[in-house]
Amino acid sequence: MKLQGKKILICISGGIAAYKINFLIRDFIKKGADVQVLMTPSAEKMVSKLTLSTLSKNPVYTEFYSENGTWNNHVDLALSADVILMAPCTANTLAKLVHGMCDNLVLATYMSAKCPVFIAPAMDLEMYQHPSTKQNLELAEDFGHHIIPAEHGELASGLSGQGRMAEPETIAQIIEEFFNATQSLQGKTVLITAGPTYEAIDPVRFIGNHSSGKMGFSLAKEAADRGAKVILISGPSAEKTDNPNILVHRVTSAKEMFTKVFDHFENVDIAIASAAVADYAPKEVASEKIKKNDDSLTIELVKNPDILKTMGEKKSKQFLVGFALETQNEEENAKGKLQKKNLDMIVLNSLRDEGAGFKGTTNKIKIITETTVTEFPLKSKNEVAKDILNFVQAQILK
Ligand code: PMT
């Protein structure tokens, strides 16, 4: 059983859903997990410490110091956890944790942690919809935390809508799936291209595109979380990672990306091309800034090497995943690329779908293989990365 021996640190904040954590703890304990509970001071009014400590078989801490004067060491609590689950996570605790506030034991422990963090928000309708909550959830997701979205239904206020904490069974399933997926790519090397490429016109200008690199960095993080060694070759992007399993190579142009990819391609098991590579580059790069003397300017463009197509030609053992960014005849064009580039699967995203494609934190994809088309709803790019890697793993294991 995957939860056997896992140390789950549950941090409860002051939402009415706190009572549901009793059921979750019982489930985790039955499955062999070691559960430690921390509470914010306001959570103490919502659920009994005695019940929580009886169910978890561990003392429950709220303060930095216990009544007998012993220090409840937040650093040890944080570093000994395999995962932290913030549930229920109120708007207040969410806001504090994404802005580095640290005025209670839960927040200090969270800030000392290195392990994956799951956040199950719970709050009333308007609070959940408030722009600050949305922004804070996005920030938490940018930190790499896993958000377990609130569910729809009747709320404590009597209103009905989204805001209820996910049911304990849902939370338990997500945590279990996390441990199942963990290390599923152990021993594999995954190469990922990300971001745009910039093709220089002169020392000042370039031809580029709107890719932010978010999709590629999410894929890299997910693959690394599953135990893979990741080689991430990224065009100019503001995205960052300090994950020790991700080796980042920063490049600028398609030609540089091509060279870096083929320094590594031979030895990788899986290659995923999520970069938006410029198809053409200026034939000549002016050595000085081009002056605006004339009414028009013609720049001759020449075709860039097709990195993914070349991977398709050279592939031996590699499982090869392409992306297709389309604006019309989406499926037909994606299927054409799947065949022409000799891919094992292609991820289609269309700029006609709201929230899909460039820049934003969400995407909406279809995964296409020789024989199947699988459609996914709009999700965060971190969740999309999970869907893509689940699909890759299922194909590899076939
Ligand atoms: O970076 P984000 O802001 O998060 O946005 C993500 C994304 C929209 C860039 C990403 O999801 C995506 O769709 N990437 C592929 C974009 C693209 O260039 O698609 P394409 O249909 O033009 O290219 C097809 C495939 O060939 C892609 O895998 C591309 O990486 C690859 N290619 C294209 C041209 C080229 N010269 N070399 C390549 O390797």
- Tell me, using a 6 A CB cutoff, whether residue 248 lines ligand 1: no
- Tell me, using a 6 A CB cutoff, whether residue 324 lines ligand 1: yes
Alpha-carbon span 37 to 48, nearest angstrom = 12
Pocket test for ligand 1, best of 270, 277, 382 (most atoms within 8 A of CB): 277
Average pLDDT of the segment spanning 349-367: 94
pLDDT reported for residue 178: 87
How many CB atoms within 10 Å of residue 370?
10
Q: Sign of dihedral through CA atoms 169, 175, 177, 179?
A: negative
Pocket test for ligand 1, best of 272, 313, 323, 337 (most atoms within 8 A of CB): 323
The structure tokens listed for 352 are: 């006609």
Alpha-carbon span 223 to 188, nearest angstrom = 9
Is residue 288 scored above 70 in pLDDT? Answer: yes
Is residue 235 scored above 80 in pLDDT? Answer: yes
Burial class of residue 316 in the structure, from the number of CB atoms within 10 Å of its CB (0-12 exposed, 13-18 middle, 19+ buried): exposed
pLDDT band at 222 (very low <50, low <70, confident <90, very high): very high
The structure tokens listed for 289 are: 């800034």
Alpha-carbon span 341 to 322, nearest angstrom = 8
For 214, list phi and psi in degrees, rounded to 5.
-60, -45
The residues annotated as belonging to the active site are: 209
pLDDT reported for residue 106: 97
CA distances (Å), origin 310, targets 20, 259, 343, 361, 369: 54, 11, 11, 30, 19
pLDDT reported for residue 1: 58
Q: Which atom of ligand 1 is nearest to the CA of 357?
A: 8
Can you list the domains of the chain with their CATH numbers?
7-182 (3.40.50.1950), 189-396 (3.40.50.10300)
pTM greater than the 0.75 cutoff: no
pLDDT reported for residue 182: 66
